Amino acid sequence: MPPRHFLAIPDLSRAELTALLDLAERMRRRVYDRKPLAGRSLAMIFMKSSTRTRVSFEVGVWQLGGHALFLSPRDCQLGRGEPIADTARVLSRYVDGIMIRTFAQADVEELARYASVPVINGLTDLLHPCQVLADVLTVRQAFGTLEGKAVAWVGDGNNVANSWINAAFRFGFPLTLACPDGYEPDPAILARAQREGSAPVRVVRDPGEAVAGAHVVTTDVWASMGQESEQERRARAFAGYCVDRRLMTRAAPDAIFLHCLPAHRGEEVSADVIDGPQSRVWDEAENRLHVQKALMTMLIAVEENA
Ligand code: CP
Ligand code: NVA
């Protein structure tokens, strides 16, 4: 049987995603104490920096009884130009799963094509699916359900925004994104959600319009990893796209604020919002651990241990 990969949220059905979140919730509540990765290893390739993704995967594998290897371009031959396809075939002979954070989504797809073990997308320029699994778990944790919850995204139509669109498409919740001209999400991802999704996914210009009545307000940095040279141009384009207290008053009274982190206080979010009572960013960061453990249990675990 070919391995099951997780390169994007729609790689799993709605039923599978719900089962994953249910398992993650049991892990969060510490009612799950099995070791389904006993004797198993995960290779973690990081072509970009990371705090949360690296630590949550490494600790998560260990908590499930397995072992994780951190591979940066400085330490492995990928950094010296060894082809992805060769790396995929070699790593598959040693490890039971590969997590990769890199630039091009096409590179992750190539890795998956040649790997004979499951590949997990730990962020590309296009997507950040593990992050948004954690975000959706955080919404369920805060409200007890996803049912009837409207989500607003404010800012760059980036990898996290694209994954929110995929989540809205799969789970069927309404999503409105406010993005400046030229910084909209991926058109193909948006078009599929609008064509095939069961709830509206809209892109607007005005942050106030996106946030009006929303239960979840979320944003991300204006310049993502790899876009550092565009920082100044982006700061000008995103003026008016800060999630501050005034904008939060447009949301539902019990609305929560999410941010994948790292955050730039005073740019995409004000300090009083991210550090204020509506913020759930620390639960959100913690939930990376739980959803990724659930994901690895579904994709990599020895069945009888899971
Ligand atoms: N949110 C997130 O992926 O954080 P890191 O870049 O620290 O992994
Ligand atoms: N959009 C950000 C997310 C970081 C976790 C980036 O790609 O840098």
Ligand 1: residue whose CA is nearest its atom 3:
53
Which of 135, 156, 220, 278 is the catalytic position?
220
Position 1 scores a pLDDT of 85
Residue 188, phi then psi, degrees to nearest 5:
-70, -40
List 28, 54, 128, 234, catalytic entry = 128
CATH number, domain 9-128+287-301: 3.40.50.1370
Long-range contacts of 86-95 (CB under 8 A, 24+ apart): 86/114, 87/45, 87/111, 88/112, 88/113, 88/114, 88/115, 88/119, 89/114, 89/115, 89/116, 91/43, 91/115, 91/117, 92/116, 92/117, 94/41, 94/43, 95/40, 95/41, 95/42, 95/43, 95/69
Under the phi-then-psi rule, with left for phi > 0, alpha for psi from -120 to 50, and beta for the rest, what region is 268? alpha
Fold (CATH) for 131-284? Rossmann fold (3.40.50)
Whether 278 is a known active-site residue: answer no
Contact predicate 17/294, CB 8 Å: no
Which pLDDT score, from 0 to 100, does residue 305 have? 57
**Does the C-beta of 124 come closer than 6 Å to ligand 1?**
no
**Using CA positions, which residue lies closest to atom 6 of ligand 1?**
50
Closest residue to atom 3 of ligand 2, CA basis: 224
- For strand 216-219 and strand 175-178, is the pairing parallel, antiparallel, or unpaired? unpaired
Active site residue 220: yes
Is 77 catalytic? The answer is no
CA-to-CA distance for 53 and 99, rounded, in angstroms? 10
Nearest atom, ligand 2, residue 131 CA: 5
pLDDT tens for 169-226 read 999 999 999 999 999 999 999 999 999 999 999 999 999 999 999 999 999 999 999 9
Q: Which ligand is nearest to the CA of 222?
A: 2
Tokens 């999410």 identify what position? Answer: 258
279 vs 124: CA distance, rounded Å: 26
Is residue 216 within a helix (H) or strand (E), and if so which, with residue range?
strand 216-219
Residue 37's CB is within 10 A of a number of other CB atoms, namely: 27
pTM of the model: 0.98
Structural contact between residues 56 and 289, judged by C-beta atoms closer than 8 angstroms: yes
Return the residue matching tokens 């993704």: 53
Q: Which of 101, 234, 280, 290 is catalytic?
A: 101
Give 172-184 pLDDT, tens digit per residue. Answer: 999 999 999 999 9
Q: Which of 12, 91, 1, 3 is nearest to 291 (CA)?
A: 12
Give me ligand 1 centre to Cα 125, in Å. 13
Please, where in the chain does CATH 3.40.50.1370 lie? 9-128+287-301, 131-284
Is the pLDDT at 302 greater than 90? The verdict is no
